[in-house]
A and B are shown apart, each in its own frame.
Chain A
Amino acid sequence: MAVQGGLTTLPEAVAVTPAWVLLAYLVAGVCFILALRGLSSPVSSRRGNRFGMFGMALALVTTLVHYRPFLPGGPGANLLDNIDWVVAGQILGAIAVGAVIGLVTARKIAMTQMPQLVAAFHSLVGMAAVLVGAAAYLNPLAFGIAEPDGLIHLNSRIEMGLGVAIGAITFSGSVIAFLKLNGNMSGKPIMLPLRHVINLGTLLAILGLVGYFTQDQSQWIFWTITALSFAIGFLLIIPIGGADMPVVVSMLNSYSGWAAAAMGFTLHNSAMIITGALVGSSGAILSYIMCKAMNRSFISVIAGGFGGDAVAAGGAAASDRPWKRGSAEDAAFLMKQAELVIIAPGYGMAVAQAQHAVREMADLLKAEGVEVKYAIHPVAGRMPGHMNVLLAEANVPYDEVFELEDINAEFSRADVAFVIGANDVTNPAAKTDKSSPIYGMPVLDVEKAKTVLFVKRSMGGVGYAGVDNELFYRDNTMMLLADAKKMVEEIVKSLGH
């Protein structure tokens, strides 16, 4: 099939898009920029979110009005002339169904389940991109991306092929991430033999087919690209272990953005391009921050396999070095006398549902005149910023919560560092022991506090990375062995006396 110079001629339908429609999409894009800009502080964030909602409403209404479905004969003189109300009803019905599902989910979801929810949402964006790409392929004239004889423009084919491929990878990758985060699938990496060869081969095949698609717009090429992309998304995520999921979720966030941008190129839509670029860079930056916080290179995360032998190493890690055990009364007494207590929470605290008890403990300490601060490691939760949300939910004021680099200098001034549900992110071996698997990872300097109170279920278990923690055996460490929630509740009781 010959290609008829599609690069230079403007597609008819796009060329006649009225200016008000183009302007509306541009305004929507700017609103989305403002929505992200608002997140620079909690105060401005709520207004930012309203900008986002306004932008989305604008894009929706504009599209609904301009691309309203017509009966045969096309648009009339007035706005509502000759509208196909059956199709309009189907469209509004589809929006309503999605809206109900979305709103109910958003209301019911527990904050600990945010990573799963975000992964599920990513998969929907990916799938929507695939479906829009397929619809554009099947009906290119409706999108104004083809010659009257149905020949799709050259650049539209590339954009469409890439958009569908990225969308499909986002979808199947996010489904696997969801299953792993939700516990439907083991967090252990699944290692296929020769997986790097298979993955690389599949990726090259997809790129090759997208190239060939520019020469031949046959059905089999389009659907093979789609099928291979679904497969590669699945193959890319199964070897990645549970510990690396924060990076994976951020990475899929980025992919969903690039998928939207590619669709924006296909449809010549500025709102989609701006959004895609914003979301794509946002996800990329979050992946970078997460990798840095775990001292892992992006390549090694993608290659997978990390976090698989944590359980095997666990048995050997427990040593018989001496350590000190404390009681809830000891802890209460120490903290009551303190001037500054820094609480270092980890995901274990959220698993034990202890965050409300911790906040109650902090309130009692503050009533005694003790200054209380929270120290958050970037990977304290299961996704970027997760721990901050969990603390906010427990009514901890956000101005008492500090990031690693802002609080690390203060541990030397603290009388008590209260570690609860965290382990690897407090391990001093990351700074001193070159043979440690977590060497080089930024950690909270809790050992610099006068006393470290370490809440842990038992001495046996180890952290995600499968290494013993130096901190347990230090002179200034007191181990509080119990369930996190029970221990904190007992401390609260003792403080009350």
Chain B
Amino acid sequence: MDFISILSIFVLAVFVGYFVVWSVTPALHTPLMAVTNAISSVIIVGALIAGAATGAPLAKWLGLVAVAMASVNIFGGFAVTQRMLAMYKKKER
């Protein structure tokens, strides 16, 4: 992908983000933060590439540490979001 296509994806995604986040109900702002934490750890993709690459041992180990850190966030972030969302219940009628 060239720079302009990447930039296009980015700019459009900012707009999508803007409208999607305004539609989130304020009652769920804490789960929103927890889940954004989890998804921003998709950065693990870069860490996995670094961890699997050959040629630079230091880069590989930095990658492995980043894999572990991002995994804490991914598993912890989704799990705590799910735990919170499970608490939101409607009135029993």
Interface residues of A, Cβ cutoff 8 Å to B: 7, 10, 14, 22, 25, 28-29, 32-33, 35-37, 39-42, 45-46, 49, 52-53, 55-56, 59-60, 63-64, 67-70, 72, 87-88, 90-91, 94-99, 101-103, 105-107, 109, 111, 114, 117-118, 121-122, 124-125, 127-129, 131-132, 134-136, 138-139, 141-143, 155, 249-250, 253, 256-257, 259-261, 263-283, 285-286, 289, 376, 378, 381, 383-386, 388-389, 392-393, 395, 397-401, 403
Contact = CB atoms under 8 A, between A and B. Distances in A.
A60 B73 contact: no
Given A36-B21, A94-B67, A132-B66, A385 B26 contact: yes
Contacts of B3: 7, 155
A275 B2 contact: no
Given A49-B85, A138-B58, A273-B9, A128 B47 contact: yes
Interface string B54-73: 11101110111111111111
Interface string B9-39: 1100110111011111111111111111111
Contacts of A118: 30, 33-34, 37
B17 A278 contact: yes
Nearest to A47: B85
B25 A268 contact: no
Contacts, number: 385
B72 A98 contact: yes
Contacts of A101: 72, 76
Contact of B41 (A125, A253, A277, A283): A125
Given A45-B85, A46-B86, A106-B76, A39 B35 contact: yes
B52 A91 contact: yes
A286 B86 CA distance: 23
Contacts of B74: 56, 60, 98-99, 102
Given A118-B33, A139-B53, A257-B36, A36 B76 contact: no
23 contacts: A10-B2, A32-B39, A32-B42, A35-B39, A45-B88, A49-B82, A52-B35, A55-B39, A95-B67, A96-B71, A97-B71, A121-B34, A124-B70, A125-B37, A125-B73, A132-B63, A155-B3, A272-B43, A272-B45, A273-B6, A282-B21, A384-B26, A400-B91
A261 B10 contact: yes
A269 B22 CA distance: 26
A46 B84 contact: no
Contacts of A283: 33, 36
A339 B44 CA distance: 54
Contacts of B24: 36, 39-40
A335 B66 CA distance: 55
B75 A102 contact: yes
A29 B40 CA distance: 11
Contacts of B87: 389, 392-393, 395
